[in-house]
Amino acid sequence: MTAQGYVALTPDTLPGRLGALSILRDRVGAPETWQVREVGDGNLNLVFIVSGDAGQAVVKQALPYVRLVGESWPLPLKRSFFEYNALIRQEARDPGSVPAVWHFDEAQAIVVMEFLTPHVILRQALIAGRQVVGLGQRLGQFCARTLFRGSDLSMTAAARKADLALFAGNVELCDITENLVFSDPYFDAPMNRHTPGLEGIVARLRADLSLKVAAQHLKLAFTSRAETMLHGDLHTGSIMVTDTEAKVIDPEFATYGPIGFDVGMLIANFLMAHFSQPGHEAAKGDRAAHQDWLLSVVETIWQVFVAEFSHLWRTERRGILYQASLYEDQGHALAAEQALADLLGRIWVDMLGFCGVEMHRRILGLAHNADFERIEDEGRRAACEARALAMGRQLMLGAGAMPGIGMVTAMARRMDKEDHL
């Protein structure tokens, strides 16, 4: 037990400890009927599914350390507070995009949520070769709505500054991102690991001085450009899907940062899913059609993000930035369109850079993706990962010269046929 009385839940203790919560009694049933399973497979937390005679719920509890590593890496419980605060803001900014939050206990670092069923983690679906109708559309909308509505383009100055201060407290989770994403991949950091066979390309990347500079420019953007409330960890393991629906989960890394960050991370994970497919073909058959679909999702995410962000710009731009009083009200609507185009151009370049670092860190750092990890044959896995590493470098160094998302997907198609080992 900590000084504040925190105690980690177990399947055996959960009914006794949470059985008095009226929301759980209403939604799940009498505690005597509850069955509890711990199903957390992420890097940080406990996740319980509670089933009773009236329904089901998810109980997520932060541990005081990094689950992936163990008690040697302490991590504050307050990440649960940031997750809760991010979830309620995401629900307000893009209704229906996240699971309904039913209860929050700050001292115990517990969030009680709607159990999404028959949803599965998107990453597992992509590895299995499953497709989700409307996925790119939904994710592009989620990014545009949450990123626009969490910024000075939309919020009142007072509310936005209060949120900037609130999420500035998420120091330790930002520290994870700052080290694991932007620095560790580019030197032989203690927790790094990579697939045997990648040594040559890893050495070349770590000797690439322009790449190291680009990574630190991106880190500077992440640490200093507090443009909007980010999800902060928007990968395909943070999305749950059915064949026709997607919900975003796990925003405990939420912080204020550059608008392009979430979109870049998300697209990186679809590109990695694309590059991993040849590794799954031996066991699961031809994946060419699945690869085409994955790249179509990449294109749709970006196109819908641009369309929805532009729509919000034209209809909801009520914050302190680029005020209508300065443009439309002066008869200068065209200048507002020019400002929008300029801003989207900057977000595009940022997005590509963040996409590149995410592709590097998931192959070279501590936290890897199951898309590649599930490829049993190490030689095959290394060949897939090498292509993703090479593409990550191109995105980080060539972002300024990339004219559009079609060029990104064309590059992914071409590199998938090349040998980068």
Using CB under 6 A as the binding rule, whether residue 233 contacts ligand SR1 is answered as yes
Residue 97 vs 238, nearer CB to ligand SR1: 238
Distance in angstroms between the alpha carbons of the first and the last residue of the chain? 50
Residue 101 vs 421, nearer CB to Mg ion: 101
Among 42, 52, 257, 264, binds Mg ion (CB under 5 A): 42
C-alpha count within 13 angstroms, C-beta hemisphere, residue 17: 18
Task: Name the residue with tokens 């500054």.
Answer: 161
360-389 residues near ligand SR1, rule: CB under 6 A: 366-367
Q: Using CA atoms, how far apart are residues 60 and 104, in angstroms rounded to an integer?
A: 10
Residue 151 vs 369, nearer CB to ligand SR1: 369
Q: Which stretch binds ligand SR1 (CB under 6 A): 174-182, 298-306, 349-357, 396-404?
A: 174-182
Residue 94 vs 250, nearer CB to Mg ion: 250
Using CB under 5 A as the binding rule, whether residue 99 contacts Mg ion is answered as no
CB of 104 to Mg ion, least distance (A): 17
- Other C-beta atoms lying within 10 Å of the C-beta of residue 240: 22
Using CB under 5 A as the binding rule, whether residue 250 contacts Mg ion is answered as yes
Instruction: Print the binding letters for residues 299-338 with ligand SR1: x by CB under 6 A, - otherwise.
Output: ----------------------------------------
User: Which entry of ligand SR1, Mg ion, none binds 421, CB below 5 to 8 A by partner kind?
Assistant: none
Q: Using CA atoms, how far apart are residues 235 and 264, in angstroms rounded to an integer?
A: 10
Residue 250 vs 358, nearer CB to Mg ion: 250
Task: Annotate 102-137 with DSSP letters as a single string.
Answer: EEEETTTTEEEEEPP-S-EEHHHHHHTT---TTHHH
Residue showing the smallest CB distance to Mg ion in the complex: 250
- Judged by DSSP in three states, 285 sits in coil
CB of 189 to ligand SR1, least distance (A): 13
Instruction: Print the binding letters for residues 40-69 with ligand SR1: x by CB under 6 A, - otherwise.
Output: --xxx---------------------x-x-
Using CB under 5 A as the binding rule, whether residue 232 contacts Mg ion is answered as no
Residues 182/354, Cβ–Cβ less than 8 Å: no
- Judged by DSSP in three states, 228 sits in strand
Using CB under 5 A as the binding rule, whether residue 299 contacts Mg ion is answered as no
Residues 51/133, Cβ–Cβ less than 8 Å: no
CB of 80 to Mg ion, least distance (A): 12
- Number of chain positions touching ligand SR1 (CB under 6 A): 11
Task: Name the residue with tokens 């159990």.
Answer: 115
What are φ and ψ of residue 354, in 5° steps?
A: -65, -35
User: Which entry of Mg ion, ligand SR1, none binds 371, CB below 5 to 8 A by partner kind?
Assistant: none
Q: Using CA atoms, how far apart are residues 35 and 37, in angstroms rounded to an integer?
A: 7
Burial 81-92 (b: 16+ CB within 10 A, else e): bbbbbbbebbbe
Q: Which stretch binds Mg ion (CB under 5 A): 27-35, 41-49, 74-82, 281-289?
A: 41-49
- With a CB cutoff of 8 Å and minimum separation 6, the contacts of 124 are 370
Among 116, 176, 226, 390, binds ligand SR1 (CB under 6 A): 176
Residues 129/284, Cβ–Cβ less than 8 Å: yes
User: Alpha helices, DSSP H only, in 185-259?
Assistant: 199-206, 209-224
Using CB under 6 A as the binding rule, whether residue 180 contacts ligand SR1 is answered as yes
CB of 38 to Mg ion, least distance (A): 16
User: Which entry of ligand SR1, Mg ion, none binds 66, CB below 5 to 8 A by partner kind?
Assistant: ligand SR1
Residue 28 vs 66, nearer CB to ligand SR1: 66
| 3 state SS for 12-50 | CCHHHHHCCCHHHHHHHCCHHHCEEEECCCCCCEEEEEE
Q: Which stretch binds ligand SR1 (CB under 6 A): 36-44, 130-138, 278-286, 372-380?
A: 36-44
Residues at the contact surface with ligand SR1, assessed by CB under 6 A: 42-44, 66, 68, 176-177, 180, 233, 366-367
Residues at the contact surface with Mg ion, assessed by CB under 5 A: 42, 250
